[in-house]
Structure 1
Amino acid sequence: MEIIKLHYPLDDKLKFNDKTVIAMGFFDGFHRGHQAVFQRAKDEAVKLGATFAVLTYDHHPALVYKKMSAHEKRYITLLDHKMALFDAFGVQKVFLVNYSHAFQSQQPKEFITNFLERFNAVAVVAGFDHTYGDKRTATMANLPTFVNGAFKVITVPPIEIDQKKVSSTRIRIGLDSGDVKQVNRLLGRPFQTKGVIVHGEERGRLLGYPTANVEHSEYQWLPKIGIYVVTVEIADRKYLGMASIGRNVTFSDGHPMTVEINLLDFNQNIYGEIVRVNWLSYIRDEIKFETPEQLINQLDEDNQTTRKYMNDHPNTLN
C-alpha cells in the first residue's frame, strides 16, 4: 500500500495518471460502517479496473473548528494502526491530507478540482453523512450536482446494529462506559491498543499476580477504569490475561492511572516489548480494598472469571 502525504495547496506539478476509485472519510475506528464504504469502493475499483484508493486525514478534523478537551483529542485507532487496517483490507493507495483551516475552507467545486479530479477519480464513495467542507453545503446529497457528471458518486447508507447507526461516536461512548463487548460488535473485531512494556512498582509480584505494565500513547482512547479480560499479542503469539486500568487505589489515593496486565500461566521477561492488547470483556470496577488480603481474594475471583471466559470462547487465542 502506498501512502502519499499531502498538504493544501497542492503543488501544481502533482499529477496522478492511474484512474482511481476513492473512499473518502476520516475512518476513526474503522468500524463496520467504514468497512461497508471500503467494500463498496473496492468492488467498484475491480469493476472499473481502477486503483482502490482512500482520501483521509492526519488528525481529527474537529481540531480546526472547535476547542477539544484532552480526552476528545484521543483516537479509537492511532494512525499507524489505521493504516495497517487499510492495508489488510486491500487498499492500494492512501491520500493522507493534512486537515487544515485552508483545506476545510475550499468551496466544494474547488475541492473537486484540487483533489478528486487531480487524483483521476472515476468514482468516489463515502458514507451518507460525510462532508468535505462546509457542513451545510459540502454534503454527499449535493456532491453529484457539484461533480456534474465528471465521475460517479456513490453514497453508502448507514449500517445499523440494535436499530442504531454504527458510528465512531457510539464506540467512544461504549469505551467510556466499559462496554467493550458492544464496542467489538460495532468494530467487527476486538478493540485493540498498542503499547510498550515498562517497569512498574511491582506490587503485583508481591501479591502473587505479577503484571506487565503497558505504556500507551497519550492519544490512545482507552476503556474506562476497571478490570477486563484481554489477550496480549507478543511476537505474533497471543496470551490470555486480566487487565487493570486504574490508579491502584488500595495502595494510594494519588497514584497515576496505569494499564497493568496479569498474563495467565506466563513467566517471561518482556520489558521493552511492543505489544498489542485486545480488549474482550469487562469484569468489574476498580475497588479500594482495606487490606492486601482482600485484594488477593478478589484477584483470585478475577482469575477464575478470566479462565471461564476462555472456556466459553475456546477460539480466543487463535
Structure 2
Amino acid sequence: MEIIELSYPFFNKQINCEEKVLAMGFFDGVHLGHQKVINKAKQIADRESLKLAILTYNHHPAIVYKKLDDDEKKYLTIKNSKMKLFEKLGVDIVFNVEYDYAFQNQSPEEFVSNFIIGSNTKFAVAGFNHTYGEVDANMKNLPKYAKDKFEVITVDPYEISQSNIVSSTKIRGFLKEGNLKEVNQYLGHNFKTKGIVVHGYARGRELGYPTANIEHDNLQQLPGIGVYIVTLMIKNHKYLGMASVGKNETFGTENPITVEINIINFNENIYGNSLDIEWISKIRNQIKFNNVNDLIEQLADDKQKTIQYFKN
C-alpha cells in the first residue's frame, strides 16, 4: 500500500494520477460504518479494475475550527494502526492530507477540482454524513460539483439495530465507560493499542503479580479506569493478561493514571519492547482496598476470571 503525505496546495507530481476509486473520510476507528464505505469502494474498484484510494487527514478536522479538550484530541486509532487496517481492507493508496486552515478554506468547487478531479477519480465514495468544507459541501450536493467528471456513491449508515447507527463518537463513549462488548461490536474487531514497556514502581512484583507498565502515545485513547482481560503480542507470540487502567488508589490517591498488565505464565525481561495489546473484556471497576492482603486476594480472583474467560 502506498501512503502519500499531502498538504494544500496540491501539486500533480505529488498525487497519484492513475484512474481510481476514492473513499473519503477521517475513519477514526475504522469501525463497521467505515468498513461499509471502504468495502463498497473496493467492490467498485474490483469491478472496474481500478486502484482503491483513501482520502483521510493527519488529525481531526475540528482542531482547525474549535478548541478541543484533551480527550477530544485523542483517537481510537492513531496513524500507524489506521494504516494497517486500511491495508487489511485492500486499499492500494492512502492520501494523508494535512488538514489546516488553507485546506479547509477551499470552496467546494475548488476542493473537487483541485483534488477529486485532479487525482483522476472516477468514483467518489463516502458515508451519508461526509462533508468537505462549507455547510452545503455535503454528499447530496457533490454531484453538482462533480459536473459529470466522476460518479458519486453515498453509503448509508451501518445500523447495529433499528435506528442504532455506528459512529466513532458512540464508540469513544463506550470506551470511556469500559464497555468493551459494545466497543468491539461497533468496531467489528477488537480494540487494539500499541505501547512500550517502561519501568514502574515494581509493586506488582512485590505482591506476587509482576506487571508490565505500558507507555502509550499521548494521542491514543484508552479504556476507562478498570481491570480488563487482554491478549498481548510479544515477539510474535500471543499471551493472556489482565490489565489495570487506573491510579493504584490503594497506594495513594494522587497517583497518575497508568496501564499495567500482568502477563499470565510469563516471566521475562521485556523492558523497551513494543507490545500489541488487544482489549477483550472488562472484569471490574477499580477498587481502593483497605490493605494489601485484600488486594492480593482480589488479584487472585481476577486471574481466575481471566483464565476462565478463555476456557469458556
With structure 1 as the length reference, what TM-score do the two structures score?
A: 0.96
What does the per-residue CA deviation read over 1:140-167, in whole Å, with 9 as the maximum and x for residues that have no partner? 0111111121111000000011331111
Matched residue, 2:41: 41
Distance across 2 between alignment mates of 1:310 and 1:272 = 28
Q: TM-score, normalised by structure 2?
A: 0.98
Q: Secondary structure at the match of 1:114?
A: helix
Q: Contact 1:229/1:241 (CA < 8 Å) preserved in 2?
A: yes
Structure 1 equivalent of residue 147 of structure 2:
148
In structure 1, the partner of 2:256 is 256
Is the CA contact 2:6–2:96 (under 8 Å) kept in the aligned structure 1?
Answer: yes
Offset of residue 250 of structure 1:
0.3
Could you report, residue by residue, the CA deviation over 1:214-249 in whole angstroms, capped at 9, with x for unpaired residues? 101111100100000000111222111100001110
Alignment of 1:224-263 (within 5 A): 224-263=224-263
Q: 1:107 maps to which residue?
A: 107
Q: Quick check: 1:66 aligned with 2:53?
A: no
Change (3 A) 1:106 1:206: same
Structure 2 partner of 1:170: 170
Aligned CA RMSD, in angstroms, stands at 1.0
**Residue aligned with 1:5, SS:** strand
1:11 deviates by 2.7
1:160 matched to 2:149: no
Letter in structure 1 aligned against 2:126: A
| Whole-Å separation in 1 of the counterparts to 2:40 and 2:234 | 34
What does 1:11-50 correspond to in 2, within 5 Å? 11=11, 13-14=13-14, 16-50=16-50
Conservation of the 8 A alpha-carbon contact between 1:16 and 1:118: no
Inter-CA distance 269–16: structure 2 relative to 1 (3 Å threshold): closer
Give aligned-pair identity as a percent: 52
Supply the distance in 2 between the matched residues of 1:6 and 1:149 (Cα, whole angstroms): 26
Please state how far the C-alpha of 1:184 moved relative to its aligned partner.
0.3
Tell me which residue corresponds to 1:214: 214
* Distance in 1 between residues matched to 2:85 and 2:234, nearest whole Å: 18
SS of residue paired to 1:227: strand
Report SS of the residue matched to 1:287: coil
Amino acid at match of 1:222: L
What's the offset of the Cα at 1:15? 5.3
The one-letter code matched in structure 1 to 2:284 is R
2:4–2:15 CA contact under 8 A, matched in 1 = no
Is the contact between residue 12 and residue 118 of structure 2 (CA under 8 Å) also seen in structure 1? no
Aligned ranges 1:269-288 → 2 under 5 Å: 269-288=269-288
Contact 2:197-2:272 within 8 A present in 1 as well: yes
Please state whether the residue corresponding to 2:69 is helix, strand or coil: coil
Structure 2 residues without counterparts, runs of 5 or longer: none
Q: Take 2:277 and 2:157, find their aligned partners in 1: how far apart are those partners?
A: 29
The amino acid across from 1:143 in the alignment is L
Distance 2:35 2:161 in 1: 18
Shift of residue 14 of structure 1?
Answer: 4.6
Distance 1:212 1:69 in 2: 29
Distance apart, 1:16 and its partner CA:
3.9
Partner of 2:307, secondary structure, is helix
Structure 1 regions of 5+ residues with no counterpart?
313-318
Q: Match for 2:148: what amino acid?
A: G
Please state how far the C-alpha of 1:298 moved relative to its aligned partner: 0.6
Specify the alignment match of 1:316 in structure 2: none
Q: Equivalent residue for 2:204?
A: 204
Q: What amino acid is the match of 2:119?
A: F
Instruction: Tell whether the 8 Å contact from 2:166 to 2:186 is kept in structure 1 after alignment.
Output: yes
Q: What are the Cα deviations for residues 53-96 of structure 1, in whole angstroms up to 9, with x where unaligned?
A: 00110001010111000111000000011011111211111111
Task: Give the Cα–Cα distance (whole angstroms) in 1 for the partners of residues 15 and 300 of structure 2.
Answer: 62
Q: Is the contact between residue 198 and residue 271 of structure 2 (CA under 8 Å) also seen in structure 1?
A: yes
Measured in 2, the distance between the counterparts of 1:265 and 1:14 equals 50
Q: Does 1:266 align with 2:266?
A: yes
